[in-house]
């Protein structure tokens, strides 16, 4: 399983397609028959996984957003985001960006 | 939240999720029962118009795009349009008769479009039946060869079939053939009238006994697959009734477009609500009076189905098919009533059957 840290850079795998509906997301992967439904954090992470910003920046963005809206503390956001990113990487939704990808 | 709940939200909020594009009515087969209205005239959409339309679909955050027809592969810009759809990030499905799905074209479809799924029509388990329906001798043998080829290429393929009076005697053999090919087969139990209301296709409406046999077979096969899906893999709220204001997503989460730019609420519901030659999709989506009327009708259709009791859903009622059969999208047509009656029969027999332990 991919080890995810705040400095890890992840992107959506190219075969991931999704549509947000009321904050959540319907997700399909070309290679898999099943349709996934992600909750708000999962959907936000998919939006943020552009392969440029490290995971730490997602946590900053979401901590600001959730902190203001729902009074969720940064620790909780960090835990949720790191957990989800690891799960999503294991499920083939996200992949790490390596130095060669950048070059 | 379950997928059903999210889709109900899309219906309620009119969020466009799925679009079916009939690229052309040209076809290399000539199915006896084809619902396409070949007398429909108009100016075909140009490649640039399709590109603009696809851009609008992307702006509306559409997820699913199905390319159909007629035979979509017969459209001169098929590869370019499919590739564009892929580039824009849609989940692309191709609905094809499979006749031209081979060689260079099949390879380019894989490489340039990379469809989520290619849905191919099977009309029988023998050449005699399949070719009788397609009215092209040799089409069955060619389909089998093409299916082997596209599978080897790694394209994801599903078989679709419509139950007819001509193929109902082969339905078990069709499932067996699909199993041998390693492909899923979905069978639609209903022949619909032609899109212009013509009733000629109904001449091959399957018999009552044929539909019953299909339902029994589907239930049987469904039970087998139920046994191998662990309960833990099913979402927790899958069985909770979904609150929704509409019967279906026609004109609210889905729509269809014909080769001449006419927009319909659904491939089955041939009430044009606008035309892409004179309006943008956004104008149609937000302002068309016809679309507002359709959305209102899908809300009323929910009441119609509910008036048939808790098992009303077994009608599998389709307002589009109702409009085609009777002219009234709210009229429960005989094929739907028969479906409910036969499904009830099958489900009652199922309930009497002792539950067998799952042996792995
Ligand atoms: C019109 S075709 C277009 C795509 C492609 N040419 C094909 O045959 O798959 C779409 C599907 O509708 C089915 N079909 C055609 N006419 C029908 C009718 N009158 N009633 C029910 N299904 C029909 C076809 O068998 C096919 O599976
Ligand atoms: S192959 Fe499809 S479009 Fe062509 S005639 Fe048959 S059903 Fe109609």
B95 Cα: distance to centroid of ligand 2 (angstroms)? 10
Query: So what's the pLDDT on residue B349?
Result: 86
Residue of B180, B204, B198 lying closest to B132 (CA atoms)? B204
Inter-chain residue contact B15 with A17, CB threshold 8 Å: no
The pLDDT, as a whole number, for residue B225 is 53
Q: Is the CB of residue B2 less than 8 Å away from at least one CB of chain A? A: yes
Q: Which ligand is nearest to the CA of B202?
A: 1
Question: A26 and B114 in contact by Cβ < 8 A?
Answer: no
Return the best residue to mutate from B23, B29, B31 for the ligand 1 pocket (most ligand atoms within 8 A of CB): B31
Q: In this complex, is the C-beta atom of B3 within 8 Å of any C-beta atom belonging to chain A?
A: yes
Chain B residues in contact with A19 by the CB 8 A cut-off are 17, 61-63
Does the pLDDT at position A32 exceed 90?
Answer: no
Under a CB-based contact definition with an 8 Å cutoff, are residues A41 and A24 in contact? no
For the domain made up of A9-92, give the CATH fold.
Answer: Outer Surface Protein A; domain 3 (3.90.930)
Å from CA of A97 to ligand 1 middle: 44
Q: Is B10 on the interface with A (CB under 8 A)?
A: yes
Segments in B136-288 forming alpha helices (H): 139-153, 171-181, 208-228, 281-287
Closest CA to A88 of A35, A13, A30, A34: A13
Record: contact A30-B1, CB cut-off 8 A? no
Closest CA of chain B from A50, distance in Å: 14
pLDDT, residue B227, reads: 40
- Segments making up each domain of chain A, as ranges: 9-92
Average pLDDT over residues A7-32: 93
Nearest chain B CA: its distance from A19 CA (Å): 6
B130 contacts: CB under 8 Å, gap ≥ 6: B122, B123, B124, B139, B140, B143, B167
- Closest CA–CA distance from residue B331 to any residue of chain A (Å): 32
Q: Of the bound ligands, which one is closest to the alpha carbon of residue B68?
A: 1
CA B172 to chain centroid, in Å, comes to: 21
Average pLDDT, chain A: 89
Q: Which of B20, B25, B33, B146 to mutate to test the pocket of ligand 1 (most atoms within 8 A of CB)?
A: B33
> Ligand 2 pocket test: which of B21, B36, B101, B119 has the largest number of ligand atoms within 8 Å of its C-beta?
B36
Q: Three-state DSSP class for B129?
A: helix
| pLDDT at B205 (0 to 100) | 98
CB spacing of A24 vs B116 below 8 angstroms: no
Q: How far is Cα B8 from Cα B31, in angstroms, rounded to an integer? A: 35
- Asked if B6 and A39 come within 8 Å (Cβ–Cβ), the reply is no
- The ipTM, to two decimals, is 0.86
3-state SS class at B149: helix
The pairing of strands B274-275 and B262-264 is: antiparallel
List all residues 6 or more positions away from B323 whose beta carbon is below 8 Å from its beta carbon: B269, B270, B271, B329
For residue A46, pLDDT over 60 is answered with: yes
Whether residues A37 and B9 touch (CB distance < 8 A) is answered with no
Of B10, B63, B235, the CB nearest to A17: B63
Report which DSSP code applies to B329: T
Interface test with B, best of A11, A26, A42 (most B CBs within 10 A): A26
Query: What per-residue confidence (pLDDT) applies to B236?
Result: 41
Do A52 and A98 form a contact (C-beta atoms < 8 A)? no
Mean pLDDT across A72-101: 88
- pLDDT given at position A11: 96
Segments in chain B below pLDDT 50: 226-239, 357-360
pLDDT at A99 over 90: no
How many angstroms separate the alpha carbon of residue B34 from the centre of ligand 1? 6
Helix, strand, coil share of chain B (percent; to 5): 45, 10, 40
The predicted pLDDT at position B360 comes to: 39
Q: Which of B:85-104 have CB within 8 Å of A?
A: 89-91
pLDDT confidence of residue B358? 45
Q: Are strands B157-162 and B185-188 parallel, antiparallel or unpaired?
A: parallel
Contact B61 A20 (CB under 8 A): yes
């Amino acid at each position: 399983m991919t080890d995810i840290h705040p400095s890890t850079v992840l992107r959506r795998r190219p075969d991931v397609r999704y549509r947000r509906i009321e904050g959540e997301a319907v997700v399909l992967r070309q290679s898999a028959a099943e349709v996934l439904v992600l909750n708000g954090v999962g959907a936000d992470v998919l939006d943020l996984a552009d392969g440029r910003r490290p995971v730490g920046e997602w946590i900053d963005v979401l901590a600001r957003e959730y902190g203001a809206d729902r009074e969720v503390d940064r620790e909780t956001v960090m835990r949720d985001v790191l957990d989800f990113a690891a799960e999503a990487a294991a499920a083939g939704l996200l992949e790490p960006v390596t130095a060669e990808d950048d070059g | 939240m379950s997928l059903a709940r999210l889709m109900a939200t899309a219906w309620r909020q009119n969020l466009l999720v799925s679009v079916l594009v009939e690229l052309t009515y040209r076809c290399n087969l000539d199915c006896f029962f084809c619902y396409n209205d070949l007398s429909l005239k108009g100016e075909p959409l140009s490649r640039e118009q399709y590109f603009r339309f696809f851009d609008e679909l992307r702006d509306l955050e559409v997820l699913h795009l199905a390319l159909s027809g007629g035979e979509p592969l017969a459209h001169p810009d098929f590869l370019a349009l499919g590739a564009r759809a892929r580039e824009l990030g849609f989940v692309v499905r191709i609905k094809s008769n499979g006749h031209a799905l081979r060689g260079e074209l099949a390879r380019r479809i894989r490489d340039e479009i990379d469809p989520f799924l290619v849905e191919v029509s099977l009309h029988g388990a023998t050449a005699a039946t399949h070719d009788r329906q397609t009215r092209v001798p040799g089409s069955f043998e060619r389909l089998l060869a093409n299916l082997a080829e596209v599978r080897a290429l790694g394209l994801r393929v599903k078989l679709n079939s419509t139950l007819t009076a001509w193929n109902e005697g082969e339905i078990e053999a069709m499932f067996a053939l699909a199993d041998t090919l390693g492909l899923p087969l979905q069978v639609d139990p209903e022949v619909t009238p032609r899109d212009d209301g013509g009733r000629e296709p109904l001449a091959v409406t399957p018999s009552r006994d044929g539909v019953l046999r299909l339902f029994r077979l589907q239930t049987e096969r469904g039970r087998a697959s139920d046994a191998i899906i662990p309960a833990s893999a099913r979402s927790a709220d899958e069985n909770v009734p979904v609150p929704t204001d509409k019967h279906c997503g026609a004109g609210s989460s889905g729509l269809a477009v014909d080769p001449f730019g006419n927009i319909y609420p659904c491939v089955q519901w041939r009430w044009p609500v606008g035309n892409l030659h004179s309006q943008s999709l956004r104008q149609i989506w937000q302002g068309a009076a016809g679309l507002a009327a359709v959305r209102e009708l899908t809300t009323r259709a929910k009441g119609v189905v509910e008036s048939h009791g808790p098992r009303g859903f077994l009608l599998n009622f389709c307002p589009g098919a109702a409009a085609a059969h009777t002219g009234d999208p709210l009229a429960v047509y005989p094929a739907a009533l028969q479906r409910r009656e036969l499904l009830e029969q099958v489900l009652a027999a199922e309930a009497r059957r002792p539950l067998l332990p799952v042996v792995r």
